Structure 1
């Protein structure tokens, strides 16, 4: 490929389905960026909860500082240590994948329960191998975090620009919760990348990402809209799945940074 592709934005989402954090640099691991979706909320039956059912989760804003995760929700704040957790393992499912997690602490679970109005727990995946995800496309099994499927989601800038040309109300890339945003030349060309290197890290493309109703949830206010799925369904449907962005995996650990050029 003769075009030059550059990393424009990097995001991590420490707690599954809560707001993300923008970074200039991030440490890539097999499971995803360090601290990315290592935590998630589960209900009283230990079923994971997301913005699909609880759009208000988009209004919880995490920050990481001094070894702690600080959560802001409206006028309320809470913090807990990145390292802390209880000892008793809990078996959960993330879609079809079984995972072993542990509760962070009772105080944090009670805080989330109070804000959301129902019983829930904040749990954490401890180590690589506690959840495995099998790729039917690659016929490989990956150690993953608590993300829906794959450790990384990459989106090209032209994919969003092309979509926004068709929308009356423009949206930002935050609707799609990417980990890596790159500058591109044409819409959706990231779907066709194979293996490539960013900074210190070699990545491999798995498959384009099928999108769900969550992308219609406006992260600015947590309100459900008709777009962008309505428009995307007119030109991005393959095998009954609306595609936007592509799922990738890392082949080694290392740092990537905003401004890095992609090397093929």
Structure 2
């Protein structure tokens, strides 16, 4: 891996399961990039809401400007402040992890309820340590955001190209919701990374990422398709888990940018 590897794309997903935002740079923190999956929708029973059950969530597009998040959905627009929240805490689960969150405001919750057609709340994780996730592979516990498991997902360009060579209908990397995309020399070489540095930030690989049916949801229109999971399962199935991309954690804080070299 002596060839130069470069950061090609950076994404954040402010609200879990909604569309992402392409960034030229982002501040890496222990919980993930700043403003990445710090918010989440929950139902009337305080259960998390995701695209797995509600594919239309891919059609909600966030933007961040002037400390405000603006959400566009069809012909509707709603905004709220990054820093606002109610006081009362709520206990929620993100898979097997319990997290403490707070509702953003009742107006925002009502707006999402009206658009989705059922009662829900937009909640926010406030501080580092409000959710912890244990890595059975590393025997370590990490402070994480409201992402499924780990703070960052990294994908190599050759992994995407290799998959698209096998697909009749080509797809974009947005299907896999990465945080960092790097140029690579060989497909899935990111699986075998150990520690590496981007800009001033040191990262550590945790494990390849197991994928679910959510990658079959076309983010362009919210329609469920058979691919790419069908094809991936033929050559990336390891112990009944279909792998694509790898989960990483940051060992310190700092800013990374598109164009930065990945140093091993």
Query: After the TM superposition, which residues 52-131 of structure 1 pair with which residues of structure 2 at under 5 Å, given as runs?
Result: 52-131=52-131
Using the TM superposition, give the Cα deviation of residue 4 of structure 1 relative to its aligned residue in structure 2, in angstroms.
Answer: 1.1
Secondary structure at the residue paired with 2:19? coil
1:237 pairs with 2:204: no
* Deviation digits for residues 15-70 of structure 1 (CA, Å, limit 9, x no counterpart): 00000000000000000000000000000000001000000000000000001000
1:200 and 1:39 mapped to 2: Cα distance?
Answer: 26
2:263 and 2:60 mapped to 1: Cα distance?
Answer: 36
Structure 1 gaps of 5+ residues are none
Using the TM superposition, give the Cα deviation of residue 137 of structure 1 relative to its aligned residue in structure 2, in angstroms.
Answer: 0.5
Segments of 4+ moved more than 3 angstroms = none
Structure 2 gaps of 5+ residues are none
Aligned length: 264
1:222 and 1:93 mapped to 2: Cα distance?
Answer: 25
* Equivalent residue, structure 2, for 1:154: 154
* Deviation digits for residues 134-190 of structure 1 (CA, Å, limit 9, x no counterpart): 000000000000000000000000000000000000000000000000000000000
1:120 and 1:72 mapped to 2: Cα distance?
Answer: 17
* Deviation digits for residues 186-208 of structure 1 (CA, Å, limit 9, x no counterpart): 00000000000000100000000
2:2 and 2:114 mapped to 1: Cα distance?
Answer: 54
2:114 and 2:2 mapped to 1: Cα distance?
Answer: 54
1:263 pairs with 2:263: yes
* Equivalent residue, structure 2, for 1:173: 173
1:144 and 1:71 mapped to 2: Cα distance?
Answer: 24
* Equivalent residue, structure 1, for 2:27: 27
Secondary structure at the residue paired with 1:63? strand
2:89 and 2:197 mapped to 1: Cα distance?
Answer: 36
TM-score (norm 1): 1.00
